[in-house]
Amino acid sequence: MLMRDFARSCVWSCAVVGSLLAGGARAEEGEVAPIKFSGFGTLGASYQRTPGVVFRRDIAQPKGARSGQLSFEPDSMLGIQASAWSGQLVEASLQAVSRQTVTGNYDPQLTWGYLKLNLDEAASVRVGRLGVEMYMQGDSAEIGYANLLIRQPVLFYPRSHDGIDAEVTHPLGAGTLRVKGMFGYVQGKLVTYSEPYDCGGSRLRGGLAEYAQDGWTVRVADASLHLAHEIPGVQIDALRQALLSFAPNGAAIVNRLAMQGRQMGYRSFSVAYDSGPLQGLVSYNQLSSPGWSSQESMFFQTGYRLGKVTPYLALSDTRTPQDHIPTGLPNLPLTAVLNQGAAHAQTVTQVNQSALTLGARYELGRNLALKAQVDRIRYITPLSINDSLQSSIPVDSRGYKAMTLYSVALDFVF
């Protein structure tokens, strides 16, 4: 099923490129703007042997690597890009990506589609569907060839928004300062309890400041997201009704679980170095929202190129205090299910997961790289893992579990 969907996506992408090429030929005959085409992709495989566990690349995927089964689902993807220019003033760009969607298929999704106005050499404005550039390399998360690791451990969700952004660059000392602001309405769906959660229509505002000099890059970013919708599903509706009807603290728990109208804040500070054979990145990220405990993430990666091979090491850690609001009901046979359901629902936003990653990247040729990676992941309440056995344990009785994930990936650009 996976390879069939992936092949269908390849055919779709080729058809789009073909139509654009035809348009480009007509444009050339009419002496209009030139068009540039490019693409990228990853053929990835993952394997793990932890009972009850499904490993996913991110929270937009419903499927992943099951225990004892080789899976191509988490990391395999294909993308195409097209750009056209009208002189030096206007640029149009689009990017379509085929990867596992929230419904489990590989239907291509438009992730970029914008017009860019270059006001001068140092200032520009873009309008349309844009990537959300919150974290370092956040605008290239799907382009495996542009990343040292097979997958980025820290990402901003959702990944794109329909709106506007503007940036200005200016020389400062021996380096360059870049300032960027963004506004729009995000697009995309995430996996939740039962039905996918639609982020569409949620308002995004944010900005970043970045300074680069002699291989060093320092970035500070801040954004807020105002959610437009509530989490759907019969399961969560039944939980809300039961809490409001029977639990003394039901209203407080329902308020904590509410998504519609919720304001979420994102902050990030990153320092990166890339010069000669050495590259590295350190990043601190925080997610906060009224009534929630703040989620904090730390990430470190480094690699050193030795000819065609680049061994790398990465460490990541995401923590959230597990401060659950009790229902106020005694833990009797008739109320135990409600107590456990309320506590489990509150853990959805409380990620506690860390990982040690070891790997190597081998340059097979121009625009082609092979990676092999091992992740040792520890968690109580994970983000990228579905653990049916852990979910069945009462929240207050859960301890840290560990799993080992083996991955290989062939990354390419064209």
Residue type, 296: E
Assess whether the previous peptide bond of 248 is cis (omega < 30° from 0).
no
> pLDDT-derived band of residue 153, with 50, 70 and 90 as boundaries?
confident
Residue type, 147: N
Domain 2-413 has CATH 2.40.160.10: yes
Specify the pLDDT at position 139.
76
Alpha-carbon dihedral 239, 243, 245, 251, rounded to 10 degrees: -130
The full set of domain ranges for the chain reads 2-413
- pLDDT > 90 in the chain, percent: 76
At a CB cut-off of 8 Å and minimum separation 6, what does 16 contact? 80, 96, 108
Kindly give the interhelix angle for 234-246 and 250-257, rounded to the nearest 10 degrees.
Answer: 150
Q: What is the per-residue pLDDT across 293-309, written as a single tens digit (0 to 9) for each? A: 999 999 999 999 999 99
Specify the pLDDT at position 6.
44
Indicate the burial class of 187 (C-beta count within 10 angstroms; 0-12, 13-18, 19 or more). Answer: buried
Q: What is the per-residue pLDDT across 129-146, written as a single tens digit (0 to 9) for each? A: 999 988 887 778 889 999
Specify the pLDDT at position 234.
78
Q: What is the per-residue pLDDT across 83-133, written as a single tens digit (0 to 9) for each? A: 999 888 999 999 999 999 998 899 999 999 999 999 998 999 999 999 998
Q: What is the per-residue pLDDT across 201-259, written as a single tens digit (0 to 9) for each? A: 999 999 999 999 999 999 999 999 999 999 888 788 899 999 999 999 999 999 999 99
The pLDDT of residue 25 is above 70: no
Q: How many CA atoms lie within 13 A of 212 on its CB side?
A: 12
Specify the pLDDT at position 214.
97
For the residues of 292-306, what is the DSSP string, one character each? SPPEEEEEEEEEE-B
Q: How many CA atoms lie within 13 A of 408 on its CB side?
A: 3
The pLDDT of residue 19 is above 90: no
Q: What's the pTM value of the predicted model, to 2 decimals?
A: 0.87
Specify the pLDDT at position 39.
97
Torsion 320-325-330-333 (CA) sign: negative
Q: What is the per-residue pLDDT across 142-152, written as a single tens digit (0 to 9) for each? A: 899 999 999 98
Specify the pLDDT at position 134.
83
Alpha-carbon dihedral 57, 238, 293, 62, rounded to 10 degrees: 0
> pLDDT-derived band of residue 33, with 50, 70 and 90 as boundaries?
low
